[in-house]
Amino acid sequence: MRHVLKSIGAFATLAIVGGGISQVAAHHSAAMFDFSKSQTLKGKIVEMRWVNPHVTITVTGSPSADEAPADWLIETTSPGNLVRAGGWRRDAVKPGDEVEVTFHPEREAGKKSGLLMELKAVSSGEVFTANIRDQEKPGLE
């Protein structure tokens, strides 16, 4: 069914014809994440990719004491939207910074990835939100 649906959209068809299912940068839905759940992960920044259309942040850490530390890949919105969402900059976090990230996990169990809700820089206590819908008013400063 899924492939039938994808063939409906000519753009989606291109994605399939054009070499499988990987590497198709896109403005995509976040429906692969479970919005009914949230998790918090304490760890250190490995890398932030400050790219359109979706910034990703790799954090190495563990969401619970009984889980071994690992790299988690946290996706979020675009750089421009993060700047407007509140306080974000390209250098808001740097490799090695201690952070707490709260996110919606992937629906598929076992995946070490999620959709960012907010990031807290441990050293400064600064909190960076990823919710662009909270900033829907003119004249922000």
Partner 1 sequence: MEFAEPFPDHSFLRRMRVKSGPIGIASVALFALVLAPSIAVAQAPQKAPAVINPPPTAQDWADIAKLPDWSGVWNPKISDQDAQVKTNPPPWNEAAAKKIQQMFAEEKAGRPTLIFANCLPEAHPSWMLVTHNAMEILFTPGRVTMLGESDGNRIRRIYTDGRGHPETSDPTFHGHSIGHWEGDTLVVDTTDIVPEAPLAVSEAAGLPNNGDMHVIERIHLADKDILHDDLEIVAPNILTKPWKTTRIFFRQRARKFDIVEGVCATGDLVERVNAEGDHVFVPVQKSEWGHTTAVPAK
| Binding site residues, partner 1, CB under 8 A | 1-2, 5-6, 8-12, 14-15, 18, 21-32, 34, 47, 49, 51-54, 56, 58, 73, 75, 77-81, 83-84, 107-108, 111, 113, 132-133, 136-141
- Sequence-ordered list of residues with C-beta below 8 angstroms from that of 136, at least 6 positions apart, any chain: none
Q: How far is the CB of 87 from partner 1 (least distance, A)?
A: 10
Nearer to partner 1 among residue 125 and residue 138 (C-beta):
138
SS3 readout for 105-123: EECCCCCCEEEEEEEEECC
Q: What are phi and psi for residue 93, nearest 5 degrees?
A: -130, 150
Nearer to partner 1, 48 or 65 (CB): 48
Closest CB to partner 1 among 32 and 40? Answer: 32
Task: Output the smallest distance, CB 43 to partner 1, in A.
Answer: 15
Please name the residue that has the structure tokens 């807290």: 120
Q: Among candidates 107, 44, 91, which has minimal Cα distance to 72?
A: 44
Give the nearer residue to partner 1 in terms of CB position, either 22 or 124.
22
CA contacts within 13 A on the Cβ side of 100: 11
CB of 78 to partner 1, least distance (A): 6
Shortest distance in whole angstroms from residue 94 CB to partner 1:
14
- Give the number of other CB atoms < 10 A from CB of residue 77: 21
Q: CB 20 → partner 1: shortest distance, Å?
A: 8
